Amino acid sequence: GLLECRHCQYLRTGRACCQLLEALLATLIVASGSVSGGSPGGYTGLPSLGGIYYYQFGGAYSGFSGADGERAQQLDQRFHLLKLPVARAAVAAGGSLLLLSCALVAVGVLRVPWRFPAWLLLECILDAVIAVGMVPAVYCFFHFLLDVYNSSVCKEREQLYQSKGYQGFRCSLHGAEIAAGILGCIAAMAYLLSAVLAVRAYRTVHRLKQKPVQ
């Protein structure tokens, strides 16, 4: 089949599978970060619908009019701006990891580690640094989000929506944000495994270079 060709045989190795898993996890982190950032939100007045306000994440809601509607829109926009930096950081980190994983797969397919075995040691160091760095990154991600949810803007927004009977605007982590943190932890373990596999691959290549297979 396709994986029987000389170059594509790399895709059957443990390192390649690990790198493809890292690419998948990075893609999911990007998606989760995008959901966390969301849209600017806010209620937009629709006079033609008789004072109903449309919320970006839901549908048509009634109950807001005049000053309350304007205040809800302002709080939504301020809340979005508070969350935007950490959401962008998550998307940027996930995108960078995705590009790196794809690049490492391409390097393996092109058999660069066989020609330059020292590349495997560089790859090991890079994977180890990323694995260790993911731990404080996940911590900072949740720390920043909890600061946003504990802010006065979020509390006032929550109270305003609850006063109108809406229960979906609590100041707590939602599923996409929790998923992003879990994916980050899994990615850390995957990169740690990649570092181990890179060392094993270096030893194998070094041995074969000294004593070629008959």
Q: What pLDDT sits at residue 52?
A: 36
SS3 at position 186: helix
Grade residue 130 by pLDDT with cuts at 50, 70 and 90.
very high
Residue 152 or residue 2, greater confidence = 152
Mean of the pLDDT values across residues 106-121?
Answer: 89
Q: Where are the beta strands (DSSP E) in 4-103?
A: 43-46, 52-55, 60-61
What was the pLDDT predicted at 44? 41
Query: Mean pLDDT, to the nearest integer, of 185-193?
Result: 95
pLDDT at position 205 is: 86
Which residue would you say has higher pLDDT here, 162 or 119?
Answer: 119
Higher pLDDT, 212 or 9: 9
Name the pLDDT band for 179 (thresholds 50, 70, 90).
Answer: very high
- pLDDT bin (cut points 50, 70, 90) of residue 71 is confident
Cα dist. 101→8, 65, 107 in Å? 16, 50, 10
Query: For residue 212, what pLDDT is reported?
Result: 56
Per-residue pLDDT tens over the stretch 9-27: 788 888 999 999 999 999 9
Mean pLDDT of 192-199: 94
Cα–Cα distance list, 173 to 7, 11, 50, 169 (Å): 44, 37, 34, 10
Strands (E) located in the chain: 43-46, 52-55, 60-61
Closest CA to 22 of 103, 80, 91: 103
70 vs 158, higher pLDDT: 158
Domain locations in the chain as residue ranges = 15-41+80-210
Q: Is the pLDDT of residue 139 over 80?
A: yes
The predicted pLDDT at position 5 comes to 57
The token duo for 38 is 């969301």
